[in-house]
Amino acid sequence: MRKSYLIIALFFTCSAGAQQLSLSLTEAKTKALSLNKDAQISALELERAEKVVKETLAIGLPQVTARGSFQNFLNVPTTVLPDFISPAVYGVLIAEDLVPEGSGGTPGFIPAQFGTNFNVSGGVTWNQLIFNGSYLIGLQAAKSYVELSRIQKDRKDVDVKLSVSEAYYTVLLSAENTSVLKESAAALERMMKEIEAMYEQGFTEEQEVMQLRLTLNNLQSQVKNSERQEVLTKQLLNFQIGLPLDQELILTDDLETLINDPLINETIAISEPDLSAHPDMKLMDSNVLLQGLRLKEQRSQYLPSLNGFFNYQKQAQRNEFNFFESGQDWFPSTVWGLELSVPIFSSGMKHYKVQQMEIGVKEAELQREQAIDGLSLAADKARSDYLFTMENYQTMNENLDLAISIRDKTRIKYQEGVSTSFELSEMENQFIKAQGNTIQASLNLLNALTAFQKAFNTL
């Protein structure tokens, strides 16, 4: 029985281990491009755009329609005709002196039924667009729409990678903060036991014990809060990647590697942004192109359009329902033709629409020029922000080293009875504040790095 329990426990241990997923930052961003819901939606939008192109192309291809109808006249329609028979008959009789002149009265109307009880018809119609300026421009616009959707997808992918990077950094920094706080709490707990022992022997005052207990309680509360925040940051990272919130992740990159990558620092120092390849710049180029196509489409309204058609039809009329019997007559009808439409006069409506499209093109060109200046400014600002955050990060690390040294020396003095618990508490709080400042500076530096990579299109 004990062996069975051991096997079961081993099975669940292995199952839990199998659920773990190890990811570097690069791997996390790559996985997010396929799992993140926003990335999936942008991919579907691109697929939709490709279908729109095919739909637009199909407008200019042959369109074939088959039609059929069946009619059963319960009462065949009646038409009233003028009575042209009676005057002719009476005219002959009068001429032959068979009836006296003036006979026949006033001619009336004769009811007549034309048609049969059952009518069946069936045929095929083929339509072909031969020339239409709007169609040709629309086909170009549809292809440009695909390119626009592709650019928007690339832009969304950048946003997804940015969100994953920031979440990845936050998890690492949260874990670092929890580790430091636990280490400090463990050190204070050891000191607390020593001080309590000294108090029991009468070598220190109760106030010293209470002050140290107050500091330890506050630190333990911060540890618990940091642990909760660490869980939340991991869930946020899973959410950004597109994984289940309870998926256990092992982050293989560490803060030191990400912050002190010499290749990144060298790139930041010498690189210049390639604005033409930036998604925002491509978006502006695409907007200029689409506005130009809209202008062309409006101008094409002045051109004629030409369509061709072919229709073949057969029909039959019966007083009895015998359409499936052989030897009965079916009457064919075949026609083909062309339909030409030439715009002549629209009271200036087309003219003013063209002028509106021309204004739209000018606006798109101005927006493109503005985007160039904006992206250049954003790139310069991103470089400046990174350099500033790097300097601030280095300063905070120096301050942390000083705070650690001061705290350690104060602990030694306190154990030797030279320093008070109040001074020890102050130095502990100073260290925790310096540690928090360092962690915030690290986060600012990493976020500035991702902002730089986004501005330079290297994320």
Distance, in Å, from the CA atom of 167 to the CA atom of 446, rounded to the nearest integer, reads 11
Question: If phi over 0 gives left and psi between -120 and 50 gives alpha, with beta otherwise, what is residue 348?
Answer: left
CA separation, residue 76 to residues 83, 95, 316, 322 (Å): 21, 39, 15, 18
Which residues share a beta bridge with 341? 305
Q: For strands 21-23 and 249-251, give the pairing.
A: parallel
Residue 103's pLDDT is 64
Q: What is the pLDDT of residue 7?
A: 42
Q: Per the domain annotation, does 445 fall within a domain?
A: yes
Q: How far is CA 243 from CA 164, 193, 228, 251, in A?
A: 12, 44, 20, 14
- For the ranges 106-110, 180-184, 369-373, the one whose mean pLDDT is highest: 369-373
Over the stretch 195-218, which tens digit does the pLDDT of each residue have?
788 778 777 778 878 888 888 898
Q: Is the pLDDT of residue 48 over 80?
A: yes
Partnered with residue 82 across adjacent β-strands are: 109
- Mean pLDDT lowest among 146-150, 153-157, 263-267, 392-396: 263-267
Q: How far apart are CA 118 and CA 322, in angstroms?
A: 9
Secondary structure class of 97 (helix, strand, coil):
coil
Nearest to 119 by CA among 323, 334, 312, 311: 323
Helix (DSSP H) and strand (DSSP E) numbers for the chain = 11, 8
What's the confidence (pLDDT) of residue 328?
Answer: 83
> Does the pLDDT value for residue 28 go beyond 90?
yes
Largest Cα–Cα distance in the chain?
164
pLDDT of residue 32: 94
The contacts of residue 131 (CB under 8 Å, 6+ apart) are: 303, 304, 305, 306
CA distances from 238 to 171, 199, 241 (A): 11, 49, 5
In the prediction, which pLDDT does 18 show? 44
The pLDDT, as a whole number, for residue 1 is 42
Share of the chain above pLDDT 90, in %: 35
Report whether pLDDT(126) > 80.
Answer: yes
Burial (CB count <10 Å: 0-12, 13-18, 19+), residue 438: buried
- Which of 67-81, 96-110, 155-169, 188-202 shows the highest mean pLDDT? 155-169
**pTM to 2 decimal places:** 0.76
Please tell me the predicted confidence (pLDDT) of residue 104: 62
Query: How far apart (Å, rounded) are the C-alpha atoms in residues 119 and 238?
Result: 69
For residue 2, the model assigns a pLDDT of 42
**Model pLDDT for residues 205-261, shown as the tens digit of each residue:** 788 788 888 888 988 898 999 999 999 999 999 999 999 998 999 999 888 888 877
Banded model confidence at residue 459, pLDDT cuts 50, 70, 90: confident
Domain count, the chain: 1
Residue 250 confidence (pLDDT):
92
Give a yes or no: residue 252 inside a domain.
yes
Residue 435 lies in a domain: yes
**Measuring CA to CA, which residue among 263, 56, 76 is closest to residue 141?**
56
Please report the pLDDT score of residue 348 as a whole number: 87
In this structure, is residue 81 part of a structural domain?
Answer: no
pLDDT over 70 (residue 266): no
Is residue 55 in a domain? yes
Query: What is the pLDDT confidence band of residue 17, given thresholds at 50, 70 and 90?
Result: very low
Q: How many CA atoms lie within 13 A of 346 on its CB side?
A: 12
DSSP sequence for 303-327: S-EEEEEEEEEEEEEESSS-TTSTT
Assess whether pLDDT exceeds 90 at residue 312.
Answer: yes
Given a cut of 70, whether residue 279 has pLDDT beyond it is yes
What is the Cα–Cα distance from 154 to 160, expressed in whole angstroms? 10
What string of DSSP letters covers 32-51?
HHHH-HHHHHHHHHHHHHHH
At 250, which CATH number?
1.20.1600.10
Average pLDDT over residues 26-40: 92
The per-residue pLDDT of the chain, averaged, comes to: 85
Where is 416: in which H helix or E strand? none
**Residue 359, in any domain of the structure:** yes
Answer yes or no: is 342 within a domain. Answer: no
What single letter denotes the amino acid at residue 282?
Answer: K
56 pLDDT band, cuts 50/70/90, is: confident
Average pLDDT rounded to a whole number, residues 441-448: 90
Scanning the structure block, which residue is given the tokens 């048609």? 115
Within 10 Å of residue 213's Cβ, how many Cβ atoms? 15
User: What is the per-residue pLDDT for 410?
Assistant: 87
Side chain identity, residue 177: N
Identify whether 44 is part of a domain.
yes
pLDDT, position 98 = 65
What is the domain range of residue 174? 18-59+132-303+348-455
pLDDT on residue 101: 66
